[in-house]
Chains A and B, each alone.
Chain A
Amino acid sequence: MRTATLQKSDLDRVIDLLSQADYRVIAPQNQPRLEGPDSIDVATFQEVQPGDSHNIGEGLSTTGIKPFLFPKDEPLFAYENRGKKVVLTEVSLDFPKTVILGVRPCDVASVSSLDAVFSDKNAGFNDELFTKRLEKTTFVSYSCTEPDVSCFCTSVGLAPDSDKGSDLHMTELPDGTLHVEVKTEAGEKIAAVIDSLLSGEGDAVARQQAGVVAAEKITRLRDSASLLPWLQDLNNFGDEMWQRLGEKCLGCGACTFECPTCHCFDIVDENSGNKGYRVKFWDSCQFDHFTLHASGHNTRNSQFERYRNRFNCKFKIYEDVFGEKGCVGCGRCIRGCPVNLDITEYMAEVAQKATTSAS
């Protein structure tokens, strides 16, 4: 499909054109922060209007694009008791036409992990709240040139410049221009809208090179081939490693809520008097109540078991059920962890154990 060159300085124009074409434009944006040493930069994906600031291409956003496909909280329906009657009100499933700009390769790759769960292709049930959003969304991805110390996408079969799941992919070249690759029909539509800003065929070689250079910068381990077999060997479920590495976990949900592929949710009725909403909101396998039974029994009674579950979920259960990894190596769970619990330490440990047992 088509490739072309785009001036980085034209990104603002891209936003203008897309907005004019009635796209809801989502782009990473730095959040306002208080003065003083205690505050740090936080970038999140936000709806942007022409003229708004954005930081496309500047590092990896603190939170991913998950909220635009699977919001942190949303209503399933509203209800109201009237005498003996219950009146239900559905939520609207008609979502705006959306383009998400400057998505990093890891984030855009994560969409298929969510899709695996919410669409009917495996689960046999189609969560329209997700799929209808997905239908309306176009992803314009943007290669990493400066992966940071926590990135490990190369360990999970991705790369700083991979375009898995992308509709239109951009790569920043050393000369400051952007190499644009159209990947899908939806991508074509975007290209058409910003056609006036595109020129030539771009520079495929330089793009390749940029990818290699970026990949070089990733310091965390790269081989995760041995993970699956080791995890599938149930004898290793009781390995002392789980406890040793996991006992410092304090049981917050930071890793799961920042994770682009974590998808667990809870449902409650938010009641006020005679009416209320049935609400779906993010839940975390790291919370001690996550597996608490009504009987009082808790199948994962201690924190290391909960993290073991998370690790298995990403690298075993996903593979078993969907035939792909549930991790895209964005490294957010590492950055966000208050106690520096590091998923790649688990991976390293496993790899090492696997090799020793093999030999």
Chain B
Amino acid sequence: MSKGIIRHDFEPKIMGFVCKWCTYSGADLAGTSRMDYSPHVRMVRLPCSGRIDPQFVIKAFEQGADGVIISGCHPGDCHYNEGNYYARRRNLAFRNLMEFNGIDTKRLEFSWISAAEAIKFTQIIDKFTNQVRELGPNEGYRVLLDPYASRLVKSSEESAA
């Protein structure tokens, strides 16, 4: 079952914002079924894809993420009935905004993954990881990450209370 891990010279950093009812459970199922997928994603567990604020994504990019995954329940399956419909609209707008800002929308993944779709989950993760790996580092933001690095002198250790 193991794919074995091949080290590449660039390994993308990917942040995930997922609904705990579907995708997060799907990921758990993938675990219980001992599936094997790319280890790059760090997921934040949220009650609903409707709780996913564009601010999260912006901040993730500002933190040096090379890609961001957003995922929720299939339309009609939302635990809160309509959260994912709002998420769908908001993210459509947000995507276009990011694109206009010059961020490659290939770095921004949105998918519906139900709690039963462990296989789809692993496929999406793998596919997206490769996609981002091919895109390479998020250069645009990488240069902005640490605005003051050049201003520092070498660190002087001193402990504080």
Chain A residues within CB distance 8 Å of chain B: 73-75, 78, 84-92, 272, 277, 279
Contact = CB atoms under 8 A, between A and B. Distances in A.
A87 B153 CA distance: 13
A78 B159 contact: no
Given A78-B148, A277-B148, A91 B155 contact: no
Contacts of B32: none
B110 to A, nearest CB: 25
A78 B149 CA distance: 9
Interface in B130-161: 147-148, 151-160
A84 B158 CA distance: 11
What is the predominant secondary structure among interface residues of chain A facing chain B? strand
A88 B63 contact: no
B157 A87 contact: yes
Contact of A86 (B63, B154, B159): B159
Contact of A91 (B147, B153, B160): B153
B151 A88 contact: no
B153 A92 contact: yes
Given A74-B148, A78-B148, A277-B148, A88 B153 contact: no
A272 B155 CA distance: 18
B155 A87 contact: yes
B156 A89 contact: yes
Contacts of A279: 148
Contact of A75 (B151, B155, B156): B151
A88 B155 CA distance: 7
Contacts of B157: 85, 87
A92 B159 contact: no
A84 B151 CA distance: 26
A254 B8 CA distance: 49
Contacts, number: 41
A89 B153 contact: yes
A89 to B, nearest CB: 4
A256 B155 CA distance: 35
Contacts of A73: 147
Interface string B10-52: 0000000000000000000000000000000000000000000
Nearest to B152: A89
Contacts of B151: 74-75, 91-92
A87 B148 contact: no
B157 to A, nearest CB: 6
B159 A85 contact: yes
A91 B155 CA distance: 9
21 contacts: A75-B148, A75-B151, A75-B152, A78-B148, A78-B155, A85-B157, A85-B159, A85-B160, A86-B158, A88-B155, A88-B156, A88-B160, A89-B152, A89-B153, A90-B152, A90-B156, A92-B151, A92-B152, A272-B63, A277-B148, A279-B148
Nearest to A273: B63
A146 B63 CA distance: 48
A92 B153 CA distance: 5
Nearest to B151: A91
Interface string B52-69: 000000000001000000
Contacts of A86: 158-160
A88 B158 contact: yes
**9 nearest interchain CB pairs?**
A86-B160, A75-B148, A89-B155, A91-B151, A85-B159, A92-B153, A89-B152, A90-B153, A75-B151
Nearest to A79: B160
Contacts of A92: 151-153
A89 B154 CA distance: 7
A75 B152 CA distance: 9
A18 to B, nearest CB: 23
